[in-house]
Amino acid sequence: MNEIGERCGYVAIIGRPNVGKSTLLNHIVGQKLSITSRKPQTTRHNLMGIKTQRKAQIIFVDTPGIHAKQAVALNRIMNRSAVAAMHDVDVVLFVLDRAEWTLADQYVAKYLENISTPIIIALNKIDVVQHIDELLPHIELLSKTFQNAAFIPISALGKTNIDLLLERIIDVLPKKPFVFDSEDITNRSERFLVAEIIREKITRQLGAELPYQATVEIEKHARSGNLIHIHAVIFVEREGQKKIIIGNKGQRLKAIGKNARHDIEALLGCRVMLNTWVKVKNGWSDNERILRSLGYNDGF
């Protein structure tokens, strides 16, 4: 049983798309949990990452990037999922891109106006800032809006000031026993993580639009000794998209599978036999019933 003197709590990582939220979580927990790419809206689900130290357990919730454009049900569920996380945690970690403040950041900030939860603002990507003093006018401006927030310049990629960020988070966590075992790093299943890895490879292989019309479902995940058999279905919305993912003589689908298998084996620590298929499911991204059957929901 943990002593009550230990600190434990939930921290929502929020921000506009593509500011480095998932990269930050991966570096903090020391393992790739959240998929990453340079394309916005890569993260679609709230994903829990657990960092346990000797006297503190921080339960991070990586959220989809909050965005104003909500053209289809998938976008609306992603936004609701991220916004809900802010009201169910002990700390909000608002990630910004160094000295930038965009309309998209303002859109996220409006959701923070009426919450009493402690806010920490991480100014990410300072590895590309020549002089740290460049951030001071930006911090001064932001402090007028976020009067009680703490500001910490970081580099998620370069791991700069990550220890300082963790210390600041721990300072404001409640004193209570740990929720998870010290060895746990996520509450998500192997099936979920495998599906996300495959989706990451689709996102990195294809152009700007098609990745947002694809999702992945694991139909089989069976272990036999040191070998796991995985059957994955990639759903798209139109026949033409199916042809694009398969590629000429199946070469693109083979590349997606090969790259995914490499990362899945690293994650699971064993050999993987991965089989992938592409199927058309018309209108899946704008149908909340179908989305929920595919694992999309508003919470964590």
Instruction: Render pLDDT for 105-158 as a digit per residue (tens, 0 to 9).
Output: 998 899 888 888 999 999 998 887 767 777 888 888 888 889 889 999 999 888
DSSP letters spanning the chain? ---TTSEEEEEEEE-STTSSHHHHHHHHHTS--S---SSTT---S-EEEEEE-SSEEEEEEE-PPP-S---SHHHHHHHHHHHHHHTSSSEEEEEEETT---HHHHHHHGGGTT--S-EEEEEE-GGG-S-GGGGHHHHHHHHHHSTT-EEEE-BTTTTBTHHHHHHHHHHHS-B---SS-TT---SS-HHHHHHHHHHHHHHHHS-SSGGGG-EEEEEEEEEETTEEEEEEEEEESSHHHHHHHH-GGGHHHHHHHHHHHHHHHHHHTSEEEEEEEEEE-TTGGG-HHHHHHTT--S--
Q: State yes or no: pLDDT of 193 exceeds 50.
A: yes
pLDDT digits (tens, 9 = 90+) for 20-50: 888 899 999 988 888 776 665 566 677 889 9
Please tell me the predicted confidence (pLDDT) of residue 3: 46
Q: Which residue has the higher pLDDT, 98 or 92?
A: 92
Q: State yes or no: pLDDT of 1 exceeds 70.
A: no
pLDDT digits (tens, 9 = 90+) for 205-255: 886 656 567 899 999 999 998 899 999 999 999 999 999 999 999 999 999
pLDDT digits (tens, 9 = 90+) for 164-183: 999 999 999 999 999 999 99
Q: Which fold, 7-172?
A: Rossmann fold (3.40.50)
Please tell me the predicted confidence (pLDDT) of residue 210: 62
Can you tell me which residue has the tokens 């106006």?
113
For 190-293, CATH gives: 3.30.300.20
Let me know: does 19 contact 95? Beta carbons within 8 Å.
yes
pLDDT digits (tens, 9 = 90+) for 245-296: 999 999 999 999 999 999 999 989 999 999 999 999 998 888 888 888 888 7
Q: Domain locations in the chain? A: 7-172, 190-293
User: Do the first three CATH levels of 7-172 and 190-293 match, i.e. the same topology?
Assistant: no
pTM, full prediction: 0.85
